[in-house]
Amino acid sequence: MSNGLLGIDPESVALLLREVATSEILPRFRNLKEGETRQKSPGDFVTIADESAELALTPRLEAMLPGSVVVGEEATAKNPEIIKALAGTAPVWVVDPIDGTGNFAAGREGFVSMLALILADDILASWIHHPVSGEMAIALKGQGVAIDGRAAVRFRQPAEPKGILAYGQRGAPGIAQMVDRRRDQVNQVKSSRAAGIDYVRMAKGEIDFTFFSGIMPWDHAPGALIVRELGGHIGYIRHDESYRPSEALQAAGILSAASHDTWRDIHRRLFRDE
């Protein structure tokens, strides 16, 4: 299974995610103490579970692939220079220890742990793990997507696509306002408030597109490979070229859809003047 993955065994990575969720995340779920949750910026929460899980993952990922670099959400919040590794030549692990921290902190089950393995801006593999249910989605470049070991079906072209619009304070100025004005132009369903969960919903055929105003790679690189492997398209809204993680700092919102045609249709409805 490790062909094309720099010698990495995908199941070993999945096991690591499960172990860290069991040791660092689940014991703190609905058990956070005073002072163990704070805001990095308005609406952007971090908890001791996020930080502890990332600290537990980082050395083990580096040991699993010598010479690799870990770009973790929490480490990057403290040292923004870390993100520049995405444009380098070393293999990169992109880590989101808890995607959906707001849900986690509120005691809601809508959170996941996510990883992506990237080389020269090319996403080779990704993992999205739901600690509460145990569900694990794994995408491997050129090999498809499996959810709990069962192959996901490639996307079908929807007659009338439905999807989520997740926008707010994150992202380029003016994008949220534009989407808010035009949201009635698309068939919108409720977001889970965790990008990883919404990408897995796409893989299950529950939704056909996603839009996020926030574009950081730990939120989207894992899901981007799922979208690609199932025949969909994902890209930043200011052009329809395929998604590149290293461009996040210069990009606006990110849109994914079950096909390139659907992507262009949703983009036209929401961003025709962008």
Is residue 19 marked as binding?
no
Asked if 16 contacts 47 with a C-beta cutoff of 8 angstroms, the reply is no
51 labeled part of a ligand binding site: no
Amino acid at 73: E
99 labeled part of a ligand binding site:
yes
Q: Is 96 annotated as a binding residue?
A: yes
219 is in an annotated binding site: yes
| Residues that constitute the known binding site | 73, 96, 98-99, 219
Q: Which residues are annotated as a binding site for Mg(2+)?
A: 73, 96, 98-99, 219
